[in-house]
C-alpha cells in the first residue's frame, strides 16, 4: 500500500517530484523483494554486513580526512560535475545516523554470533572494529539526535538481550563488546578531533587505525580465554561487567562534570535547529490537510513549503521521515509504514518464537557440530538434511542460529536509522533509504521464520528448487519486484538523460536550444524546468515579439500544469502578460504567485504593483473593477503589515531568512491607490516613503505624485506639466493617473 500510493500520486503537488518519489519507492520494493525472498545463507548475511561496515567506514574516513584537509571530496560519486551524487558525509546528522546505525547492528551481530572458528573470530573482530570506528564517526559528526537514539537503542538491547531462561551470557558479551567499542571509539574520537583542529594527518590515521585494531585485540583475547573456559558462563561475569560500567561512567561524570553540565546547558528548546523542526512539522500539517488520506505525492514538502511557511525561512526538507510520509502518501501510507516498523522493532527487541529457538538448542551458546552429533543415530539422508537446519526432534542448527543473528543485526540497523530519521531528513539520501529497506527486509524474514518454530525452519526457507522456480510464490514475488525495480531504473535513466540534454542545451544559441529542450522534455515529460527554459529561449529567439511572448505564456501554462504551486512560474507568467498588455491576466498571475509564496516579499510587491496597474488601466472603461483593484492593493498592504509585525517579533534564536521588505516602487503603487480612492493624506505618506529610492523611475513617480497631491488644480497645473516635460520617463504613468475620476 505504501509503494502503491507513491505510484498513484493522483494529487501530486509537483509531477516531477511525484515521479521521483514513485521510482524511488518502486526501486526500494525491488531491493526489499530480492533480499526478502532471495534465500538467506550465512555467508550472504556476512557479506552484506561486511559491505555495510565497509561503506560506513569509508564514509567516516572520507569525512575525517576531509576535516584535516587531506581529502577533498565534495561528493561521493561524480559521473560528471553536474551529476554528482551527494554522500552522507556532506551532512553531519546523516553521517552520524548512518555510522551509528551500522555500529549498532554490528554490535548486535558480534555479541550474538556463536561461531568460534579462527576465521569467524577474526571477522567478528573486524566487524567490531568497524563498529568502533563508526562510533567515533558518530561522535565526530556532532549529531546530538543520532547519539541520543544510539544510546537509547543500546539501553533497550541491553534489557531485551536477556535470554528467556535468565541466561546472561549474551548480555555479558554485549557489554564486553560495548566497552571495547566505547574505549576504542573514544580514543579514536579524541585523536581525530585533535587531528582536524591541528591539521595533523598522522594523528588522524593513528586514530582510525586504533579504532579498527583495538576491538580486534579485545575479541581475540576473549576468544583465547574462552578456549580455556567460557568466561561468560560464570555467574559473576555479568554483574562484574555491569558494576565496572557503572563505576567507570560515574568516575567519568565526576571528572568531567563541568564540561558535561556546560554541554547539557547548550541543549534547549530555543536552539534554532530544534525549534525550527517543530515549526516545519506544524507547517507541514497544512499540506497534509490538502489530501489527508492518500497524500500529495512524493516531494510534497519541496513543492509547497513556500505556500505554507509561517515565517521567512528556506528549507527544502521537512526534517522528519514520518511527516514526509504523511504529506506524500497520507494517513494510509503512514499506517502502512508504521506497520512494518512495528515488525522491525519487535524483530530487534523481542522476536516472536525466541523462547522456542533458544529452548530448542541443545547448547544454546555453543551449538555442536550436528553432522557428528547425529551421524550415528540416523541414516546418511537424514544427516544431510540435519546438517542444513534441524533434526527430526526440532533441534536448532548452528547455521540457522547464525541466520537469525544476522537478520536481527540488519533489523537493528534499520530501526536505529528510522528512529533518527523520524526527526531529520536522512531518508532523502537514497543510500540511507536503501539501508533502511534492507533492515525492513531482514526483519520481515526474521519475523516469518522465528514465528514458525525451529523444526519448520528448513522447510520454510525460500530456497530455489530445481524445476520449482515457476511454482514458488517467493520466486514469483522476487521476480516481479525485480522487474518493477528495473522499470524504476529505466524511468530514472530517462530523467537523467533529459537533465543532461537540458543542461547541454544551455550552451547553444536560442533557436537550436529550443529544439534541444524539446527533445530533453520528450525524455522527461513530467519536468516543468524544461518548459521554463524553453520559454526563455523562445523569448530570446523572437526578441520578445508579441508572438514570442504569447508562445512563452503558453509554455509557462504547460509548466504550471506540472508544477501548480510554483511562485516562480506564476511570477514569470505575470511579467509576460504585462508585456503583452494583458493587465487583468498579469494581475491574476501575480496574485497567484503571491499566494504560493506569501513570505517572499518580491511576490507581494509584484502583486501590489500589478493590482495598481490593473486598476489604472481599468479606470476609463470599468471604474467598479478599477476600484476593486485599488482596494485589493490596500488589503495586500494590510496583510504585509501583519506579516512584517510577525517577523519583527521573532525571537533572536529564530532569525528570518532575510528582511521582509517591499520593493520601493510598491509605495508609488500604494500612493496611487490611495489617491484613486480619495485618501490624499495616506497617499502623500506613501509617496514620501518612495522619494528616497535609488531607482530613478521610482523617485520620479513619487515626486510627480507629491506635486499632484500638493496642487489644488490636480493634473491641470503648470508645475506638474513642467515636471512631466522635463522627466519623460513618467509620461506613461501620468497618462494613466489623468484617467482617475478625482484627477480629471
The percentage of the chain sitting over the pLDDT mark of 70, rounded to a whole number, equals 80
Per-residue confidence (pLDDT) for residue 283, from 0 to 100: 95
pLDDT tier, 80 (very low <50, low <70, confident <90, very high otherwise): very low
Per-residue confidence (pLDDT) for residue 398, from 0 to 100: 64
How many helices and strands (H and E) does the chain possess?
Answer: 32, 2
Question: In Å, how far are 15, 42, 352 from 113, measured between CA atoms?
Answer: 47, 11, 19
For residue 532, give the C-alpha cell.
521554463
Residue 723 lies in a domain: no
Handedness of CA 24, 25, 26, 30 (dihedral sign): positive
Residue 32 lies in a domain: yes
Alpha carbon distance 191, 182 (integer Å): 14
Sorted by sequence, the CB contacts under 8 Å of residue 653 that are 6+ apart come out as 270, 271, 272, 275
Contact 185, 107 (CB under 8 A): no
Per-residue confidence (pLDDT) for residue 458, from 0 to 100: 40
Alpha carbon distance 218, 209 (integer Å): 15
> DSSP characters for 425-489?
-GGGSHHHHHHHHHHHHHHHHHHHHHTT-GGGHHHHS----TT-TTT-HHHHHHHHHHHHHHHHH
Residue 222 lies in a domain: yes
> DSSP characters for 13-31?
SSHHHHHHHHHHHHHHHHH
For residue 471, give the C-alpha cell.
511454482
pLDDT higher than threshold 90 for residue 152? yes
Q: Which one, of 259, 267, 149, 132, lies nearest residue 192 by Cα?
A: 132
> pTM of this prediction?
0.83
Most confidently modeled range among 63-72, 193-202, 387-396: 193-202
Residue 75's Cβ-side half-sphere holds a number of Cα atoms within 13 Å equal to 11
Per-residue confidence (pLDDT) for residue 567, from 0 to 100: 95
pLDDT tens-digit map of 677-723? 989 999 999 999 999 999 999 999 999 999 988 877 565 678 888 89
Least confident of 11-15, 574-578, 713-717, 721-725: 713-717
Beta bridge partners of 396: 390
pLDDT tier, 7 (very low <50, low <70, confident <90, very high otherwise): low
Pick the residue with more confidence: 554 or 465?
Answer: 554
- DSSP letter at 346 equals H
Residue 27 lies in a domain: yes
Per-residue confidence (pLDDT) for residue 352, from 0 to 100: 63
Question: How big, in percent rounded to 5, are the helix, strand and coil portions of the chain?
Answer: 75, 0, 25
pLDDT higher than threshold 80 for residue 163? no
> DSSP characters for 321-346?
HHHHHHHHHHHHHHHHHHHHHHHHHH
Residue 123 lies in a domain: yes
Q: Cβ-count burial of 725 within 10 angstroms (0-12 exposed, 13-18 middle, 19+ buried)? A: exposed
User: Residues 644, 648, 650, CA angle at the centre, nearest 5°?
Assistant: 120
Residue 34 lies in a domain: yes
Contact 684, 706 (CB under 8 A): yes
Q: Which bin fits 295, alpha (ψ -120 to 50), beta or left (φ > 0)?
A: left
φ, ψ for residue 85, nearest 5 deg: -95, 120
Residue 210 lies in a domain: yes
pLDDT higher than threshold 60 for residue 328? yes
CA-derived radius of gyration, the chain: 33
Contact 421, 427 (CB under 8 A): yes
Per-residue confidence (pLDDT) for residue 740, from 0 to 100: 85
- Cα dihedral: 380, 383, 384, 389 (round 10): 170
pLDDT higher than threshold 70 for residue 38? no
Per-residue confidence (pLDDT) for residue 450, from 0 to 100: 65
- How many other β-carbons are positioned within 10 Å of the β-carbon of residue 177? 25
pLDDT higher than threshold 50 for residue 115? yes
Contact 284, 308 (CB under 8 A): yes
pLDDT higher than threshold 60 for residue 77? no
Most confidently modeled range among 4-13, 128-137, 711-720: 128-137
φ, ψ for residue 125, nearest 5 deg: -65, -40
Sorted by sequence, the CB contacts under 8 Å of residue 380 that are 6+ apart come out as none
Alpha carbon distance 623, 625 (integer Å): 5
Alpha carbon distance 238, 232 (integer Å): 7
Q: What b/e readout covers 223-232, taking b as 16+ CB neighbours within 10 angstroms?
A: beebeeeeeb
Alpha carbon distance 213, 105 (integer Å): 19
Q: Which one, of 113, 104, 111, lies nearest residue 45 by Cα?
A: 113
Alpha carbon distance 233, 364 (integer Å): 11
Pick the residue with more confidence: 24 or 9?
Answer: 24
pLDDT tier, 388 (very low <50, low <70, confident <90, very high otherwise): very low
Per-residue confidence (pLDDT) for residue 24, from 0 to 100: 87
Pairing of strands 77-78, 84-85: antiparallel
Average pLDDT of the segment spanning 303-330: 93
- How many other β-carbons are positioned within 10 Å of the β-carbon of residue 555? 27
pLDDT higher than threshold 50 for residue 446? yes
- Cα dihedral: 62, 66, 70, 71 (round 10): 60
- How many other β-carbons are positioned within 10 Å of the β-carbon of residue 102? 33
Alpha carbon distance 725, 242 (integer Å): 92
Alpha carbon distance 547, 538 (integer Å): 10
Query: How many structural domains does the chain have?
Result: 1
Per-residue confidence (pLDDT) for residue 558, from 0 to 100: 95
φ, ψ for residue 390, nearest 5 deg: -150, 150
pLDDT higher than threshold 70 for residue 293? yes
pLDDT tier, 641 (very low <50, low <70, confident <90, very high otherwise): very high
Residue 433 lies in a domain: yes
Per-residue confidence (pLDDT) for residue 612, from 0 to 100: 95
Alpha carbon distance 301, 114 (integer Å): 47
Q: Which one, of 744, 676, 701, lies nearest residue 687 by Cα?
A: 701
Q: What is the mean pLDDT of the chain?
A: 82
The H-or-E segment that residue 607 falls in is helix 601-618
Per-residue confidence (pLDDT) for residue 265, from 0 to 100: 66
- How many other β-carbons are positioned within 10 Å of the β-carbon of residue 459? 11
Average pLDDT of the segment spanning 114-134: 88
pLDDT tier, 484 (very low <50, low <70, confident <90, very high otherwise): confident
Per-residue confidence (pLDDT) for residue 167, from 0 to 100: 65
Chain centroid to CA 263: how far?
A: 27
Q: Which one, of 30, 28, 10, 7, lies nearest residue 19 by Cα?
A: 7
Q: Which one, of 490, 538, 548, lies nearest residue 516 by Cα?
A: 538
Least confident of 29-33, 536-540, 590-594: 29-33
Pick the residue with more confidence: 536 or 356?
Answer: 536
Per-residue confidence (pLDDT) for residue 716, from 0 to 100: 66
Per-residue confidence (pLDDT) for residue 168, from 0 to 100: 78
Alpha carbon distance 733, 744 (integer Å): 15
What range defines the domain where residue 156 resides?
1-230+274-361+396-450
pLDDT higher than threshold 80 for residue 477? no
Chain centroid to CA 428: how far?
A: 3
Amino acid at each position: 500500500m505504501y509503494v502503491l500510493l507513491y505510484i498513484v500520486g493522483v494529487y501530486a503537488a509537483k509531477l516531477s517530484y511525484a515521479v521521483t518519489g514513485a521510482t524511488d519507492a518502486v526501486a526500494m520494493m525491488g531491493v526489499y523483494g530480492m533480499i526478502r525472498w532471495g534465500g538467506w545463507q550465512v555467508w550472504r548475511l556476512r557479506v552484506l554486513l561486511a559491505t555495510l561496515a565497509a561503506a560506513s567506514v569509508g564514509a567516516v574516513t572520507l569525512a575525517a580526512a576531509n576535516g584535516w584537509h587531506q581529502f577533498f571530496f565534495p561528493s561521493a560519486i561524480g559521473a560528471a560535475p553536474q551529476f554528482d551524487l551527494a554522500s552522507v558525509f556532506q551532512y553531519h546528522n546523516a553521517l552520524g545516523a548512518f555510522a551509528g546505525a551500522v555500529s549498532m547492528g554490528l554490535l548486535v551481530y558480534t555479541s550474538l554470533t556463536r561461531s568460534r572458528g579462527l576465521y569467524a573470530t577474526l571477522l567478528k573482530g573486524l566487524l567490531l572494529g568497524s563498529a568502533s570506528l563508526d562510533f567515533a564517526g558518530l561522535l565526530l559528526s556532532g549529531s546530538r539526535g543520532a547519539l541520543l537514539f544510539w544510546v537509547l537503542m543500546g539501553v533497550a538491547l541491553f534489557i531485551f538481550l536477556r535470554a528467556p531462561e535468565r541466561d546472561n551470557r549474551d548480555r555479558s558479551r554485549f557489554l564486553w563488546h560495548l566497552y571495547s567499542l566505547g574505549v576504542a571509539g573514544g580514543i579514536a574520537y579524541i585523536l581525530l578531533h585533535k587531528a582536524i583542529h591541528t591539521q595533523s594527518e598522522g594523528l588522524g590515521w593513528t586514530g582510525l587505525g586504533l579504532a579498527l585494531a583495538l576491538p580486534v585485540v579485545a575479541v581475540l583475547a576473549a576468544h583465547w580465554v574462552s578456549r580455556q573456559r567460557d568466561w561468560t558462563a560464570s555467574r559473576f561475569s555479568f554483574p562484574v561487567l555491569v558494576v565496572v560500567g557503572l563505576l567507570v561512567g560515574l568516575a567519568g561524570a565526576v571528572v568531567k562534570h563541568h564540561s558535561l553540565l556546560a554541554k547539557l546547558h547548550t541543549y534547549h528548546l530555543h536552539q534554532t535547529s530544534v525549534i525550527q523542526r517543530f515549526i516545519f512539522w506544524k507547517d507541514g500539517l497544512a499540506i497534509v490537510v490538502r489530501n489527508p488520506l492518500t497524500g500529495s505525492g512524493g516531494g510534497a514538502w519541496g513543492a509547497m513549503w513556500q505556500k505554507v511557511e509561517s515565517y521567512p525561512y528556506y528549507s527544502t526538507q521537512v526534517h522528519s521521515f514520518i511527516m514526509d510520509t504523511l504529506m506524500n502518501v497520507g494517513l494510509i501510507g503512514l499506517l502502512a509504514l508504521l506497520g512494518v516498523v512495528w515488525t522491525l522493532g519487535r524483530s530487534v527487541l523481542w522476536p516472536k518464537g525466541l523462547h522456542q529457538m533458544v529452548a530448542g538448542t541443545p547448547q544454546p551458546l555453543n551449538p555442536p557440530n550436528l553432522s557428528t552429533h547425529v551421524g550415528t543415530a540416523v541414516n546418511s539422508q537424514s544427516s544431510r538434511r540435519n546438517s542444513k537446519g534441524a533434526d527430526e526432534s526440532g533441534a536448532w542448527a548452528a547455521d540457522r542460529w547464525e541466520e537469525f543473528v544476522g537478520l536481527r543485526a540488519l533489523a537493528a540497523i534499520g530501526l536505529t536509522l528510522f528512529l533518527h530519521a523520524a526527526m531529520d531528513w536522512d531518508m532523502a539520501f537514497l543510500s540511507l533509504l536503501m539501508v533502511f529497506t534492507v533492515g525492513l527486509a531482514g526483519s520481515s524474514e526474521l519475523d516469518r521464520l522465528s514465528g514458525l518454530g525451529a523444526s519448520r525452519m528448513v522447510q520454510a526457507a525460500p530456497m530455489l528448487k530445481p524445476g520449482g522456480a515457476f511454482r514458488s510464490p517467493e520466486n514469483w514475488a522476487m521476480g516481479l519486484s525485480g522487474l518493477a525495480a528495473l522499470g524504476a531504473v529505466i524511468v530514472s535513466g530517462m530523467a537523467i538523460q533529459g537533465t543532461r540534454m537540458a543542461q547541454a542545451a544551455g550552451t547553444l544559441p536560442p533557436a537550436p536550444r529550443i529544439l534541444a529542450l524539446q527533445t530533453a522534455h520528450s525524455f522527461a515529460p513530467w519536468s516543468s524546468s524544461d518548459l521554463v527554459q524553453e520559454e526563455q529561449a523562445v523569448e530570446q529567439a523572437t526578441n520578445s515579439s508579441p508572438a514570442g511572448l504569447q508562445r512563452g505564456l503558453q509554455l509557462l501554462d504547460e509548466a504550471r500544469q506540472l508544477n501548480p504551486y510554483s511562485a516562480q512560474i506564476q511570477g514569470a507568467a505575470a511579467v509576460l502578460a504585462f508585456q503583452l498588455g494583458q493587465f487583468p491576466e498579469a494581475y491574476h498571475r501575480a496574485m497567484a504567485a503571491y499566494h504560493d509564496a506569501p513570505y517572499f516579499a518580491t511576490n507581494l510587491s509584484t502583486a501590489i504593483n500589478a493590482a495598481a496597474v490593473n486598476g489604472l488601466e481599468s479606470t476609463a472603461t470599468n471604474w467598479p473593477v478599477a476600484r476593486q483593484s485599488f482596494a485589493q492593493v490596500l488589503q495586500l498592504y494590510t496583510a504585509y503589515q501583519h506579516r512584517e509585525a510577525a517577523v519583527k517579533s521573532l525571537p533572536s534564536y529564530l532569525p528570518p531568512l532575510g528582511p521582509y521588505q517591499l520593493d520601493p516602487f510598491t509605495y508609488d503603487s500604494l500612493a496611487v491607490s490611495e489617491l484613486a480612492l480619495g485618501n490624499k493624506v495616506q497617499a502623500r505618506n506613501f509617496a514620501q516613503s518612495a522619494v528616497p529610492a535609488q531607482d530613478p523611475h521610482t523617485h520620479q513617480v513619487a515626486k510627480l505624485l507629491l506635486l499632484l497631491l500638493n496642487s489644488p488644480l490636480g493634473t491641470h497645473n503648470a508645475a506638474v506639466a513642467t515636471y512631466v516635460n522635463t522627466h519623460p520617463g513618467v509620461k506613461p504613468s501620468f497618462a494613466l493617473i489623468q484617467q482617475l475620476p478625482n484627477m480629471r
